[in-house]
Amino acid sequence: MAVHFHEEDLPAGVLTGTSALAVDTETMGLITARDRLCVVQIADGTGDEHLVRFNPGSNYDAPNLKAVLADPARVKLYHFARFDLAAIEHYLGVLAAPVFCTKIASKLVRTYTDRHGLKNLVEELLGQSISKQQQSSDWGGPVINEAQRDYAASDVRYLHALRDELVVRLEREGRLELAQACFDFLPARARLDLAGWAEHDIFSHM
């Protein structure tokens, strides 16, 4: 298992298979249009993680990464897909779908708790421990240090295994079809965020 660090794009020929891809992003903050995309993490579940860093002033011209993310034949695994889909579409200009979101799946089957963070899921379902210490660090600095790289890689390292465990629970509770409908809607939900409806529920009466 290794963490590979790349500047501005994936190398040609990397992650060109057909398996599902775990994807995450690091940005300068939580407002997509203001807080630029700094890092995209991606892994195919075979043991290595790839980090693509974008520098200040980047034009986000990353044809290899874009081709992998935009492949409609490959499911993309996220934890809180809504945010990552919006960041990827806003900065890279591609729709990184179809989607499986472990956070939504968790909320549908782990109704006995309100703790649906990635750390909570990894601990309960996989018996592993991950650190979130670097979550709020400066991802736009000139150097992405080893602690940041390990943190970023850990955000995609467990998504394949989590997906497998959550699918079992979704099937057991008869909620897999409902989960899939939620996943299919996520690109539209991300676009609503980008268009200005981030905090307003258009399905509510008010």
Residue 132 lies inside a defined structural domain of this protein: yes
- Nearest CA among 82, 81, 40 for reference residue 60: 40
Q: Is the pLDDT of residue 99 over 80?
A: yes
How far from 98 is each of 10, 51, 62, 75, 155, CA to CA, in Å?
20, 21, 20, 5, 19
Residue 155 lies inside a defined structural domain of this protein: yes
Number of structural domains the chain divides into: 1
How far from 80 is each of 18, 28, 169, 175, CA to CA, in Å?
23, 17, 18, 18
Residue 47 lies inside a defined structural domain of this protein: yes
Q: Is the pLDDT of residue 152 over 90?
A: yes
Rounded mean pLDDT, 94-115? 98
| Residues whose CB is less than 8 angstroms from the CB of residue 40 and which lie 6 or more positions away in sequence, other chains included | 23, 24, 25, 51, 52, 54, 65, 69, 88, 92
Q: Which tens digits make up the pLDDT trace of 105-116?
A: 999 999 999 999
- Nearest CA among 94, 117, 97, 92 for reference residue 106: 117
Its sign, for the CA torsion 19, 75, 140, 146, is negative
Q: What is the CATH number of the domain that holds 118?
A: 3.30.420.10
Contact status, residue 168 vs residue 126, Cβ threshold 8 Å: no
Q: How confident is the model at residue 206 (pLDDT cuts 50, 70, 90)?
A: confident
Structure tokens at 4: 């590979």
- Nearest CA among 85, 4, 100 for reference residue 43: 4
Residue 202 lies inside a defined structural domain of this protein: no
CB atoms near residue 171 (< 10 Å): 13
CA angle, 86 then 92 then 96, to 5°: 55
Residue 135 lies inside a defined structural domain of this protein: yes
Q: Is the pLDDT of residue 134 over 70?
A: no
Residue 205 lies inside a defined structural domain of this protein: no
Rounded mean pLDDT, 161-179? 98
Q: Range of 107's domain?
A: 3-195
Residue 67 lies inside a defined structural domain of this protein: yes
Encoded amino acid at 99, one letter? V
Q: Which tens digits make up the pLDDT trace of 41-80?
A: 999 999 999 999 999 999 999 999 999 999 999 999 999 9
Residue 201 lies inside a defined structural domain of this protein: no
